[in-house]
Structure 1
Amino acid sequence: MSLRTRPVLLAGTLAAALVLAACGSDGDDGGGGGDGETAGGAITVWTMESLPDRFAAQQQMAANFTEATGVEVELVGIEEAQAPQLIQSNALSGDLPDVMASFPLALVHQMGGLDMVDTETTQAVIETLGEDTFDPAALELTSDGENQLSVPSDGWSQILVYRTDLFEEAGLEPPTTYEALETAARTLTTGDQFGITIATDASDVFTQQSFEALALGNGCQLVEGDEITIDSPACQETFRLYQALGSEYSPSGTQSVDSTRASYFAGQSAMVMWSTYILDELAGLRDDALPTCDECAGDDAWLAENSGVVTTITGPDGESAGSYGEIASFVAINGDNPAGAQAFIEYMMSDAYVDWLAMAPEGKTPMRTGDGENDTAFADAWAGLEAGVDRRAPLSEFYDEEVLGVLTSVGETIDRWALKEGQGELLGSFTAELPLATAVADMTGGGLSAEEAAGQVAEAAQQMLPEQ
């Protein structure tokens, strides 16, 4: 699976639509009815896991749920890029689903800030399944104060993948610091090779994700309290580094999710910033995203065996740096069948949970680790799952314990802008409108200096701050 992306959307328009829908909802009381015998009726579920193989797997899970509970499920696959517009249009028409599956943090918090989320049903699910069976960090990141906004299901980390063979030949240190990263990018940019390939697409949240991953490593935050800090000295240093990487040591032109992966897979770039979803593709387990480097011709797994992984790249101001990651959730929406929604989410997080994780274990670290009787039941089951699409194999066949440790530590190490500051609604708007990606594209294209880009983004973010 490639990183899923979202388009530019005026957050104010989405907010107006969501407020209208919230005011007109018949399900404001929410909660109750996790028992399939009392749920009944039918529910609609939107899922962002819309790739054909994963959608088919979810159809089977939904059919099994219906057989077990009697609740009919209309499953609708949506692209992450479509989500904001679909929420906007369906909110205006009063036709939102009962459950949203695999929804990202920023969108969850934006909907939560606009009273779209059925927090009573969500809390009932958590209590039924057992709060202590979930990763505490995941619960914190999916809550707003005392309100639990969603049920965290799985997570992935943003990682820097690098060619260990090229680093060793050049006598380079692993790219774990700003200095080591920039030195490696400069050294490995030669006549027929780039030091790195990094996102510069103005319309792609992947660009923001890549920047935020570097920013967190230098202690750069979007907001602190109610003060926008994206133009702070620490953040300006991240802009400076990103400008150098994107304009001097990365392929020219707009770099996207697909082009960055293709460049690294072809051996044209020595480093790439991506998500853990790349790991099965890097191992040659997916035909539509195979490594194509010269050395890969006789061994699809060659690139995986000659790649290392870094999660946090520490800058000069990053004393207690965290790593960027995403947590996907099941979200109960204020609707007509909260009992059915609760029953479905509970089923997906218990009976069907291992099947859910098995769709893409390289990008689905479990946020519910145990089942109440065994504290590590789901974590243990996940560790034995096979990854891949056209071929399947355990990731342990290709990666050492250090790389696998990246996957298992998602919940422990994840950090995100704005959420711990109680500014999830700001992050939702910021992610929808993508002022950072726009500024990065202009900066790496030569239109803005690092300082100008930081100032432009800060001004845009300031306009999005919710009124206190």
Structure 2
Amino acid sequence: MNVTRAEFLKLALGAGAGAALGVPLKAFAAGMTGTISYLTYESLPTTKKVTGDLIAALEAANPGLKINPLFTSPEAVRKQVASMLQSGTAPDIVNLDIEDATLYANAKLLEPVSDVVSGIKNLPDRWRAKIDGQDYFVPMGVKFTYSWYRSDLFEKAGLQPPKTWSEFEVAAKKLTGNGQYGYAVSSNETGDNPVSSLFSYAFSNGVNFVDDDGNVLFDQGANKVALAETLAFVARMSKFSPSGTNFGWGEIINSFASGKVAMADYIGSRLFAVTAQNNPQLAEVTKPMLQPYGKSAANRLSAEGFMVFQGSKNKEVAKQIITYLREGQRYFDYLWSIPLHVLPTTKEDFHGGYQKNDFVQKHQDIVEVINTAWDQARNPVYDLNGKKPSWQRAKIYTSTIYNKMLASVVQGGADPTAAIDQAAKAARSLVKNA
């Protein structure tokens, strides 16, 4: 079995949307008018259906309003936004990540959305792009990087899910052989999958990459030692992996769902959902676990949400629409269209109304891993110990600098310390010339 990106986007996750799309729209029936463009990379069929229903209800309550959704892919969305900005036709509402919001806010291209964000109760500061006292990003959902394993293979080998790197290596080695691989390692030089996994392991080993003022730290003192250890660990794990030099998100799913590998990392639960869709028997023995750690448990967090560009012709209506999509049952309906993958932005919602869904209730093992990961997760815009979002962190993270550092060690056999020195030099040059 091989799931292409196009096929992957056609897969419905089977949880279905909630039945409460007809929530009263009194607060949003006050005559909103104009044409609003809405660009999103959440384009699974279930999500398209829920988004379409929500938009239709809003348009019905506001006859003078027209919302034009444009569904794209995570791989294409950044280039599309950049191209639209260059041509002077920026979308009114964009669904992107906190890294993008931090960069666009620094470039003075975004409209403040503090009035919307202030209405979200119990929202952690580390999931906000708050710069100079203003919010420029409305978090819609969060995703955690964690791991998956084959419980049948573990039981047969007499293994328990690994917690530490040493246990991870032992398990991967024991589960490699006769066409079977213990773990899937990606060292793609352009995708964000390798960097997502690398950051989780680096955070768990105590690596701080960049400070709040934008100074590069990952080639300094204890950070350099810890990052070198992390790179060496990933290189050792690559010996138990199929060739992953060009692995993207789809290839990671393919390698696991085809039965080829025993363990894999992924952001959220899509790996499980696609495995269940294509290989139900394998899904029965697919279990989640926290990513094994170096010094202490930590993992990478991804936050996605909405931005409003200053070039929007109807900024206030755009913000009203975002508020509408983010409130009450409508919010859960949207999240349930991507169940246990894109999660509520507050723990209170996660443990509250979000649990009232069949898919969520049936997969409490995933809920338990997410709950454990919640407080120890970190976003690269804040790094391991950051107190505010840093555009320098976002700039380096969304470049290919970390990818090339990892690839040089895993693919090229470079000394980790030399690879770190080269990456740090490139990182300082990048932010200096930005």
User: Under a length normalisation based on structure 1, what TM-score does the superposition of the two structures give?
Assistant: 0.78
Is 2:335 aligned against 1:357?
Answer: yes
Once the 2 structures are TM-superposed, how far is the Cα of residue 112 of structure 1 from its aligned partner?
A: 1.4
Once the 2 structures are TM-superposed, how far is the Cα of residue 304 of structure 1 from its aligned partner?
A: 3.4
Mapped partners of 2:197, 2:140: distance in 1: 23
Is 2:285 aligned against 1:306?
Answer: yes
1:206 pairs with one of 177, 193, 201: 193
For residues 237-286 of structure 1, give each alpha carbon's deviation from its aligned partner in whole angstroms, at most 9, with x where no partner exists.
1110111112x1111252332222222222221111112233542662x2
Change (3 A) 1:2 1:219: farther
Mapped partners of 1:152, 1:463: distance in 2: 31
Q: Is the 8 A contact 2:218 2:227 kept in 1?
A: yes
Q: Is the 8 A contact 1:49 1:78 kept in 2?
A: yes
Is 2:177 aligned against 1:190?
Answer: yes
User: Which residue identity does 1:116 align to in structure 2?
Assistant: L
Match of 2:67 in 1: 73
Structure 2 counterparts to residues 380-399 of structure 1, below 5 A: 380-386=352-358, 394-397=359-362, 399=363
Is 2:31 aligned against 1:43?
Answer: no
Once the 2 structures are TM-superposed, how far is the Cα of residue 357 of structure 1 from its aligned partner?
A: 1.0
Mapped partners of 1:408, 1:437: distance in 2: 29
User: Under a length normalisation based on structure 2, what TM-score does the superposition of the two structures give?
Assistant: 0.83
Mapped partners of 1:41, 1:176: distance in 2: 53
Match of 2:412 in 1: 446
Q: Is the 8 A contact 1:323 1:413 kept in 2?
A: yes
Is 2:201 aligned against 1:223?
Answer: no
Q: Is the 8 A contact 1:3 1:206 kept in 2?
A: no
Match of 1:244 in 2: 236
Aligned residue pairs total: 400
Change (3 A) 1:311 1:245: same
Once the 2 structures are TM-superposed, how far is the Cα of residue 197 of structure 1 from its aligned partner?
A: 0.8
Structure 2 counterparts to residues 220-369 of structure 1, below 5 A: 220-225=207-212, 226-231=214-219, 232-246=224-238, 248-254=239-245, 255-278=247-270, 280-281=272-273, 284=276, 286=277, 290-291=278-279, 300=280, 302-315=281-294, 318-319=295-296, 321-334=297-310, 335-350=312-327, 352-367=330-345
Match of 2:157 in 1: 170
Mapped partners of 1:77, 1:45: distance in 2: 8
Mapped partners of 2:4, 2:105: distance in 1: 27
User: Which residue identity does 1:277 align to in structure 2?
Assistant: S
2:287 counterpart SS class: strand
1:441 counterpart SS class: helix
Match of 1:23 in 2: none
User: Which residue identity does 1:256 align to in structure 2?
Assistant: G
Match of 1:16 in 2: none
Deviates more, 1:222-231 or 1:353-362: 222-231
Q: Is the 8 A contact 1:48 1:78 kept in 2?
A: yes
1:367 counterpart SS class: coil
Match of 1:428 in 2: 394
Mapped partners of 1:84, 1:282: distance in 2: 25
Mapped partners of 1:277, 1:427: distance in 2: 26
Mapped partners of 1:117, 1:217: distance in 2: 33
Match of 1:136 in 2: 124
Change (3 A) 1:355 1:403: closer
User: Which residue identity does 1:55 align to in structure 2?
Assistant: K
Match of 2:431 in 1: 465
Mapped partners of 1:312, 1:146: distance in 2: 35
Mapped partners of 1:332, 1:410: distance in 2: 30
Once the 2 structures are TM-superposed, how far is the Cα of residue 158 of structure 1 from its aligned partner?
A: 0.8
Mapped partners of 1:412, 1:2: distance in 2: 34
Mapped partners of 2:412, 2:170: distance in 1: 21
Mapped partners of 2:244, 2:379: distance in 1: 28
1:263 counterpart SS class: helix
Mapped partners of 1:84, 1:403: distance in 2: 30
Mapped partners of 1:336, 1:330: distance in 2: 16
Once the 2 structures are TM-superposed, how far is the Cα of residue 467 of structure 1 from its aligned partner?
A: 8.0
1:190 counterpart SS class: coil
Mapped partners of 1:117, 1:446: distance in 2: 40
2:145 pairs with one of 150, 158, 161: 158
Match of 2:108 in 1: 115
Change (3 A) 1:223 1:233: same
Q: Is the 8 A contact 2:128 2:138 kept in 1?
A: no
User: Which residue identity does 2:334 align to in structure 1?
Assistant: W
Once the 2 structures are TM-superposed, how far is the Cα of residue 427 of structure 1 from its aligned partner?
A: 3.1
Mapped partners of 2:106, 2:407: distance in 1: 30
Once the 2 structures are TM-superposed, how far is the Cα of residue 51 of structure 1 from its aligned partner?
A: 3.2
Change (3 A) 1:154 1:179: same
Once the 2 structures are TM-superposed, how far is the Cα of residue 100 of structure 1 from its aligned partner?
A: 1.0
2:142 counterpart SS class: strand
2:367 pairs with one of 389, 404, 410: 404
Once the 2 structures are TM-superposed, how far is the Cα of residue 466 of structure 1 from its aligned partner?
A: 5.4
Change (3 A) 1:253 1:177: closer
Change (3 A) 1:188 1:158: same
User: Which residue identity does 2:353 align to in structure 1?
Assistant: A
Change (3 A) 1:144 1:183: farther
Once the 2 structures are TM-superposed, how far is the Cα of residue 105 of structure 1 from its aligned partner?
A: 1.7
For residues 86-119 of structure 1, give each alpha carbon's deviation from its aligned partner in whole angstroms, at most 9, with x where no partner exists.
2222222221111112x11211111111112211
Mapped partners of 2:78, 2:66: distance in 1: 26
Mapped partners of 1:409, 1:98: distance in 2: 36
